[in-house]
Amino acid sequence: MASTGKAAGAGRSLSEYSEVQSSRLDVHLPLPCVLRNPFNLVDGPPSSAAGNPEEIAKLFPNLFGQPSAMLKSATTSGAAADQSLIIGVVLSGGQAPGGHNVISGIFDYLQQRTKGSTLYGFKGGPAGIMKCKYIELSEEFVYPYRNQGGFDMICSGRDKIETPEQFKQAEETAKKLDLDGLVVIGGDDSNTNACLLAENFRSKNLKTRVTGCPKTIDGDLKCKEVPTSFGFDTACKIYAEMIGNVMIDARSTGKYYHFVRLMGRAASHITLECALETHPNITIIGEEVAAKKQTLKNVTDYITEIICKRAELGYNYGVILIPEGLIDFIPEVQQLIAELNEILAHDVVDQEGTWKKKLCSQSLDLFEFLPPEIQEQLLLERDPHGNVQVARIETEKMLIQMVETELNKRKHEGKYKGQFQGQSHFFGYEGRCGLPSNFDANYCYALGYAAGALLHSGKTGLISSVGNLGAPVEEWTVGGTSLTSLMDVERRHGKFKPVIKKAMVELEGAPFKKFASLRDDWTLKNRYVNPGSVQFVGSTANAINETLILELGAQA
C-alpha cells in the first residue's frame, strides 16, 4: 500500500463500535437516478462571477467564464468506462457530519465506474497535499467510516495553499502521484483555494483537475446551485435536541433562564434553524443586530424587557438562543476590540487603569458597562498575535450578567417583581461529529459520487452540486457549478483576493421571515418544541431541516 506512515487518527476498530454505529455501516444509500445509469454531462451557458467579473477574469484567466454542467441520463456514458483514474481527496477546515460519506461516494464511483482506479486520501488537510502525506484508500479501510461522523478517516487541517512555494509543493505532489483529479471538501475559503489550485494546475498544463464539495455546519456556503452545505442538517438537529430538552427542563423547573450560545462564528444560520425547530422565547440573530445597528445595551434591554413581561405572566423561566458570532455583529464592540488590540500591543495593563485613557469615550463607556469577568476575558484571552480571541468570550455569560444588573435596577425601581436565575450553555463540539442524519448521509454520498463523475468527465474548477433536495433522493439533480461564478474579490493588503462570499442570514429570506412572523408569539407564550434525538429508522427519520424546506419553497 502506497502509504506514508501509519493511518490517520488512531484508526477505528469495528469491535469497539456501539450498536447504533454498527447498525449504520451497511445502510443502503439511495443514489439519484441520474447517477445510477449512464449519463452525459451537459454544459450550461458561459458563467460570470458573483461580483467584479473583470477582476475575477484576471485572477482566473484559464477558468473564468466556464459553464456549469448538469448530468443527464443517457443510453451510453459520455465518460470512458475503461479509463482508470488516480484521484486524491482532502478534508479542509472544521469537522462536519457526513465528510466520510463524501469520501465513500468518490470511492464507490471510482470502483463502479472506472476500473482499476486509485483513491488517495491526503492526511491532515491541505498540509497533506503540500507534504505529500497520504494513504491509499481501500474498501477495507473505507468501510468502518461509512455513515459515521467525524473526519478521522484522513483528518482535516486549516492550512492554506497560498504562496508560490506552496503551489509548487502541490504541483510536485500532483506530478509525483500522477493525479488525474483532486477533491477538496471544505467551506468557502477551502473552495476558493480549490479553484486557485485548479487554475494553477491548468496554467501549468498539469492534467490534475480539481472539484470542490460544500462543507460546513455553519450553513454559510450556499447559493442557488448549491442549496446547502453538508453537516448543517445534522449539527442543527443535535443542537435542537439539546435545546428541546433544556426547554422542557425550563418549563418543568420553572426557575431558570437558559442562555444558549450556538456555534456559527460568522453567520447565524444555526441559531435561526434551531429557533425554527424549537421555538425559544428569545432568539438573537446577528445579521439583524447588525442591520439595525444595535448596541450591546439595546440587546440587553430587548432581553430584559421580555423577561419583565414574562414575569408579569408568572413565568420566571425561559430559553434564549445566541449566535456565537454575536459580538462581531455589534459595531461598538468591534471598535472596542480594535482599540484594545492596538493598546495592548504596546501598553501594560496596570491595576490603576491608566491604559484606559487611551480608549475613545464610547469604547470606555462600553468597557465600563461590561461585567468584570468579561473585561478580564477581553484583557487576558489573546491569540499568539496579541489579539483578543473573540470566539473565547463567553457571550452567554456576559448577557446573563448584564441582564441581571438591569433587572436588579428595575427591581429596585419597583418595575420588576420576578426572580431571575441564568444558566449558561455553549453547544458546539457536540454537533460537529455526530452520526450524520439520513439527509446528510444521502446528500454527502451523492456529492462524493457526483465529484467522481465530474472528474471522470474531465471537468475542473467546479463544485459538486446536488439539487432538488426537497424531492425524494431518486429525483435529486446532479451537476457541477463553476467555482469562479461564485466569486467576488476583496481588497486585502492592497491586493485583490478572490473570495466566495459567505452566505449570511437574509433578512428578506424565507427562513428569517417565518421566524420574524412567529417570534412574538413564542416570546410570551411557551411554544416549545422538543425535536428529540436524531432517529435513523422509522417514520420520523427522514425529515430535512426547516431552513432548507423554506428556502426551497420560496424558490419554487
Annotated binding site for diphosphate: 94
Region near a copy of itself per CB under 8 A, out of 15-23, 223-231, 507-515, 545-553: 15-23
17 binds a copy of itself (CB under 8 A): yes
Instruction: Please report whether residue 528 would count as binding a copy of itself according to CB under 8 A.
Output: yes
Q: Single out the residue of 1, 2, 18, 556 in contact with a copy of itself (rule: CB under 8 A).
A: 18
Beta-sheet pairing, 282-283 with 209-214: unpaired
Contacts of 149 (CB under 8 A, 6+ apart): 95, 97, 100, 234, 433, 434, 435, 436
Residues tagged in the binding site annotation for substrate? 216-218, 255-256, 263-265, 324, 429-432
Answer yes or no: are the C-beta atoms of 69 and 464 closer than 8 Å. Answer: no
> Looking at 53, 121, 227, 531, which residue binds a copy of itself (CB under 8 A)?
531
Question: Alpha helix (H) ranges present in 16-158?
Answer: 19-25, 33-36, 53-59, 99-113, 126-130, 139-142
Write out the binding residues for a copy of itself, residues 261-280 only, by CB under 8 A: 277, 279
Q: CB of 99: closest distance to a copy of itself in angstroms?
A: 9
Pairing between strand 477-482 and 487-492?
unpaired
Tell me, yes or no, if 218 is annotated catalytic.
yes
3-class secondary structure for 326-346?
HHHHCHHHHHHHHHHHHHHHH
Q: Does 201 bind a copy of itself (CB under 8 A)?
A: no
23 binds a copy of itself (CB under 8 A): yes
Q: Judged by CB under 8 A, does residue 402 bind a copy of itself?
A: no
Nearest-approach distance from CB 18 to a copy of itself, in angstroms: 4
* Number of continuous H segments (helices) and E segments (strands) in the chain: 20, 16
Nearer Cβ to a copy of itself (56/275): 275
Does 435 engage in binding with a copy of itself (CB under 8 A)? yes
What amino acid is encoded at 362 in this protein?
Answer: Q
The C-alpha cell of 117 is what?
Answer: 482506479
SS (H, E, C) 362-390: HHHHHHHHCCHHHHHHHHHCECCCCCECH
Shortest distance, position 293 Cβ to a copy of itself, whole Å: 33
The grid coordinates of residue 125 equal 488537510
β-pair type (257-262, 209-214): unpaired
**Shortest spacing between CB 518 and a copy of itself, in angstroms:** 11
The residue count for binding a copy of itself (CB under 8 A) is: 62
For the bound state, the minimum distance from the C-beta of residue 17 to a copy of itself, rounded and expressed in Å, comes to 7
Alpha helices in 256-295 (DSSP H): 269-278, 286-291
Q: Which is nearer to a copy of itself, 364 or 524 (CB)?
A: 524
35 binds a copy of itself (CB under 8 A): no
Position among 246, 400, 463, 483 found at the interface with a copy of itself (CB under 8 A): 246
Which of 290, 378, 534, 548 is in the footprint of a copy of itself by CB under 8 A? Answer: 534
Please pick, from the candidates 334, 535, 549, 554, the single residue that binds a copy of itself as defined by CB under 8 A. 535
Catalytic residue among 108, 152, 218, 233: 218
Which 60-119 residues touch a copy of itself, going by CB under 8 A?
95
Residues 440, 97 contacting (CB under 8 angstroms): yes
CA end-to-end span of the chain: 49
d(CA 197, CA 203): 10
Known binding-site positions for Mg(2+): 188
Query: Least distance (Å) from a copy of itself to the CB of residue 411?
Result: 16
Q: Are 485 and 49 in contact (CB under 8 A)?
A: yes
Count of Cβ atoms closer than 10 Å to residue 26 Cβ = 9
**Strands 181-186 and 86-92, bridge-based pairing:** parallel
| Helix, strand, or coil (residue 392) | helix
The reply on whether position 281 binds a copy of itself by CB under 8 A is no
In the complex with a copy of itself, the residue whose CB is nearer, 507 or 543, is 543
Report CA-CA distances (Å) from 467 to 67, 450, 484. Answer: 17, 11, 19
Quick check: 425 binds a copy of itself (CB under 8 A)? yes
By CB under 8 A, residue 242 contacts a copy of itself: yes
Beta bridge partners of 185: 91, 213
Site string for a copy of itself, 132-161 (x = CB under 8 A): ----------------xxxxx--xx-----
Q: How far is the CB of 300 from a copy of itself (least distance, A)?
A: 21
- Of 254-262, 324-332, 342-350, 493-501, which segment contacts a copy of itself by CB under 8 A? 254-262
Is residue 281 within 8 Å of residue 523, measured between CB atoms? Answer: yes
Position 416 contacts a copy of itself (CB under 8 A): no
Residue 119 vs residues 106, 108, 134, 136, 403: alpha-carbon distances, Å: 8, 10, 10, 6, 54
Out of 204, 251, 502, 519, name the contact with a copy of itself by CB under 8 A: 251
Q: How far is the CB of 22 from a copy of itself (least distance, A)?
A: 8
Active-site amino acid positions: 218
Q: What is the binding site for a copy of itself (CB under 8 A)?
A: 9-10, 16-21, 23-24, 95, 124, 148-152, 155-156, 238, 241-242, 244-246, 248-249, 251-254, 256, 258, 277, 279, 315, 423, 425, 429-435, 525-540, 543
